[in-house]
Structure 1
Amino acid sequence: MDLDDQMRRYFGTDQLATVPPEAIAAGIEHMRVDLGLERDRARRFALWTLLYMLDAAPALDAVFEEEADRDAARNLMDLSARMMPDAD
Protein backbone atom coordinates (compact mmCIF):
# COMPACT_ATOMS: atom_id res chain seq x y z
CA MET A 1 0.00 0.00 0.00
CA ASP A 2 1.48 3.28 -1.11
CA LEU A 3 0.77 6.22 1.19
CA ASP A 4 -0.04 8.58 -1.69
CA ASP A 5 -2.50 6.04 -3.09
CA GLN A 6 -4.20 5.77 0.29
CA MET A 7 -4.42 9.55 0.63
CA ARG A 8 -6.02 9.79 -2.82
CA ARG A 9 -8.42 6.93 -2.03
CA TYR A 10 -9.70 8.39 1.23
CA PHE A 11 -9.27 12.14 0.67
CA GLY A 12 -9.27 12.59 -3.11
CA THR A 13 -5.75 14.05 -3.12
CA ASP A 14 -2.29 13.35 -1.80
CA GLN A 15 -2.12 16.94 -0.49
CA LEU A 16 -3.90 16.68 2.86
CA ALA A 17 -3.48 20.41 3.56
CA THR A 18 -5.97 21.13 0.76
CA VAL A 19 -8.70 18.89 2.17
CA PRO A 20 -11.56 20.59 4.07
CA PRO A 21 -12.12 19.41 7.67
CA GLU A 22 -15.44 17.74 6.79
CA ALA A 23 -13.75 15.67 4.09
CA ILE A 24 -10.97 14.68 6.48
CA ALA A 25 -13.55 13.47 8.99
CA ALA A 26 -15.37 11.51 6.26
CA GLY A 27 -12.10 9.99 5.01
CA ILE A 28 -11.16 8.94 8.54
CA GLU A 29 -14.55 7.32 9.04
CA HIS A 30 -14.16 5.46 5.73
CA MET A 31 -10.70 4.25 6.80
CA ARG A 32 -12.04 3.03 10.15
CA VAL A 33 -14.75 1.03 8.38
CA ASP A 34 -12.21 -0.46 5.97
CA LEU A 35 -9.89 -1.26 8.88
CA GLY A 36 -12.67 -3.19 10.57
CA LEU A 37 -13.36 -5.17 7.40
CA GLU A 38 -9.77 -5.78 6.28
CA ARG A 39 -8.37 -9.26 6.99
CA ASP A 40 -4.93 -8.90 5.40
CA ARG A 41 -2.44 -8.13 8.19
CA ALA A 42 -0.23 -5.87 6.08
CA ARG A 43 -3.17 -3.83 4.82
CA ARG A 44 -4.59 -3.55 8.34
CA PHE A 45 -1.23 -2.27 9.53
CA ALA A 46 -1.05 0.27 6.71
CA LEU A 47 -4.56 1.55 7.45
CA TRP A 48 -3.85 1.74 11.18
CA THR A 49 -0.59 3.62 10.46
CA LEU A 50 -2.36 6.25 8.38
CA LEU A 51 -5.02 6.61 11.07
CA TYR A 52 -2.24 6.98 13.66
CA MET A 53 -0.61 9.72 11.60
CA LEU A 54 -3.99 11.49 11.57
CA ASP A 55 -4.38 11.05 15.35
CA ALA A 56 -7.42 8.84 14.81
CA ALA A 57 -6.09 5.32 15.34
CA PRO A 58 -8.04 2.85 17.47
CA ALA A 59 -6.32 1.08 20.35
CA LEU A 60 -3.76 -1.55 19.38
CA ASP A 61 -5.55 -4.36 21.21
CA ALA A 62 -8.75 -3.60 19.29
CA VAL A 63 -6.99 -3.78 15.92
CA PHE A 64 -4.22 -6.35 16.09
CA GLU A 65 -4.73 -9.95 17.16
CA GLU A 66 -1.05 -10.86 16.74
CA GLU A 67 1.42 -9.68 19.38
CA ALA A 68 3.99 -9.14 16.62
CA ASP A 69 1.66 -6.64 14.94
CA ARG A 70 1.10 -4.78 18.22
CA ASP A 71 4.86 -4.68 18.78
CA ALA A 72 5.42 -3.31 15.28
CA ALA A 73 2.80 -0.63 15.92
CA ARG A 74 4.45 0.30 19.22
CA ASN A 75 7.81 0.55 17.43
CA LEU A 76 6.24 2.87 14.85
CA MET A 77 4.77 4.99 17.64
CA ASP A 78 8.16 5.19 19.39
CA LEU A 79 9.99 6.10 16.18
CA SER A 80 7.51 8.79 15.25
CA ALA A 81 7.69 10.26 18.77
CA ARG A 82 11.48 10.46 18.44
CA MET A 83 11.16 12.30 15.14
CA MET A 84 8.84 14.97 16.55
CA PRO A 85 10.52 18.07 17.95
CA ASP A 86 10.20 18.47 21.70
CA ALA A 87 7.29 20.60 22.81
CA ASP A 88 9.40 22.23 25.54
Structure 2
Amino acid sequence: MQFDDQARHYFGTDDLGSVPQDALLAGIERMRVDLGLTTDASHRFALWTMLYMLGAAPDLEATFKRAEDREAARDLMDMLDAEDED
Protein backbone atom coordinates (compact mmCIF):
# COMPACT_ATOMS: atom_id res chain seq x y z
CA MET A 1 0.00 0.00 0.00
CA GLN A 2 1.36 3.40 -1.00
CA PHE A 3 1.48 6.38 1.38
CA ASP A 4 -1.16 8.28 -0.60
CA ASP A 5 -3.44 5.23 -0.59
CA GLN A 6 -3.07 4.87 3.16
CA ALA A 7 -3.73 8.57 3.70
CA ARG A 8 -6.91 8.44 1.62
CA HIS A 9 -8.03 5.23 3.34
CA TYR A 10 -7.57 6.50 6.91
CA PHE A 11 -8.07 10.25 6.49
CA GLY A 12 -10.14 10.68 3.34
CA THR A 13 -7.44 12.72 1.59
CA ASP A 14 -3.79 12.53 0.68
CA ASP A 15 -3.29 16.10 1.95
CA LEU A 16 -2.77 15.44 5.65
CA GLY A 17 -2.27 19.14 6.30
CA SER A 18 -5.95 19.70 5.54
CA VAL A 19 -7.23 17.04 7.95
CA PRO A 20 -8.92 18.49 11.06
CA GLN A 21 -7.37 17.42 14.37
CA ASP A 22 -10.36 15.27 15.37
CA ALA A 23 -10.25 13.38 12.07
CA LEU A 24 -6.48 12.98 12.34
CA LEU A 25 -6.78 11.42 15.79
CA ALA A 26 -9.60 9.14 14.63
CA GLY A 27 -7.56 8.00 11.63
CA ILE A 28 -4.53 7.31 13.81
CA GLU A 29 -6.70 5.23 16.14
CA ARG A 30 -8.04 3.21 13.19
CA MET A 31 -4.48 2.65 12.00
CA ARG A 32 -3.42 1.40 15.44
CA VAL A 33 -6.33 -1.03 15.52
CA ASP A 34 -5.48 -2.30 12.03
CA LEU A 35 -1.82 -2.63 13.02
CA GLY A 36 -2.84 -4.82 15.93
CA LEU A 37 -5.07 -6.99 13.76
CA THR A 38 -3.05 -7.50 10.59
CA THR A 39 -0.69 -10.45 10.26
CA ASP A 40 0.79 -9.45 6.90
CA ALA A 41 4.36 -8.29 7.60
CA SER A 42 4.55 -5.74 4.78
CA HIS A 43 1.19 -4.22 5.70
CA ARG A 44 2.24 -4.03 9.38
CA PHE A 45 5.45 -2.28 8.35
CA ALA A 46 3.59 0.20 6.15
CA LEU A 47 1.13 1.02 8.93
CA TRP A 48 3.89 1.38 11.51
CA THR A 49 5.86 3.63 9.15
CA MET A 50 2.95 6.01 8.63
CA LEU A 51 2.25 6.04 12.37
CA TYR A 52 5.92 6.87 12.95
CA MET A 53 5.73 9.74 10.49
CA LEU A 54 2.66 11.02 12.34
CA GLY A 55 4.43 10.75 15.71
CA ALA A 56 2.11 7.98 16.91
CA ALA A 57 4.03 4.74 16.33
CA PRO A 58 3.95 2.10 19.04
CA ASP A 59 7.13 0.61 20.46
CA LEU A 60 9.21 -1.51 18.07
CA GLU A 61 9.49 -4.43 20.48
CA ALA A 62 5.73 -4.60 20.85
CA THR A 63 5.08 -4.22 17.13
CA PHE A 64 7.65 -6.45 15.46
CA LYS A 65 8.42 -9.97 16.68
CA ARG A 66 11.29 -10.56 14.24
CA ALA A 67 14.63 -8.87 14.83
CA GLU A 68 14.97 -8.21 11.09
CA ASP A 69 11.74 -6.21 11.09
CA ARG A 70 12.84 -4.17 14.11
CA GLU A 71 16.18 -3.46 12.44
CA ALA A 72 14.45 -2.36 9.23
CA ALA A 73 12.26 -0.02 11.29
CA ARG A 74 15.32 1.42 13.05
CA ASP A 75 16.99 1.96 9.68
CA LEU A 76 13.90 3.79 8.44
CA MET A 77 13.81 5.95 11.59
CA ASP A 78 17.48 6.87 11.09
CA MET A 79 16.88 7.71 7.44
CA LEU A 80 13.85 9.90 8.19
CA ASP A 81 15.62 11.61 11.09
CA ALA A 82 18.60 12.35 8.82
CA GLU A 83 16.26 13.98 6.29
CA ASP A 84 14.81 16.17 9.03
CA GLU A 85 18.31 17.38 9.92
CA ASP A 86 18.98 18.56 6.35
Matches within 5 A, 1:11-50: 11-50=11-50
Q: Partners in 2 of 1:85 and 1:71 — Cα distance? A: 21
Q: Partners in 2 of 1:77 and 1:42 — Cα distance? A: 16
Query: What is the CA-CA distance between 1:62 and the residue it aligns to?
Result: 0.5
* Structure 1: runs of 5 or more not aligned: none
* Structure 2: runs of 5 or more not aligned: none
Q: Taking every aligned residue pair, what percent have the same amino acid on both sides?
A: 59
Q: Which runs of 4+ in 1 moved over 4 A?
A: none
Using structure 1 for the length normalisation, give the TM-score. 0.95
Matched with 1:83 is 83
Query: What is the CA-CA distance between 1:85 and the residue it aligns to?
Result: 2.7
Aligned residue pairs: how many?
86
Q: Partners in 2 of 1:16 and 1:65 — Cα distance? A: 30
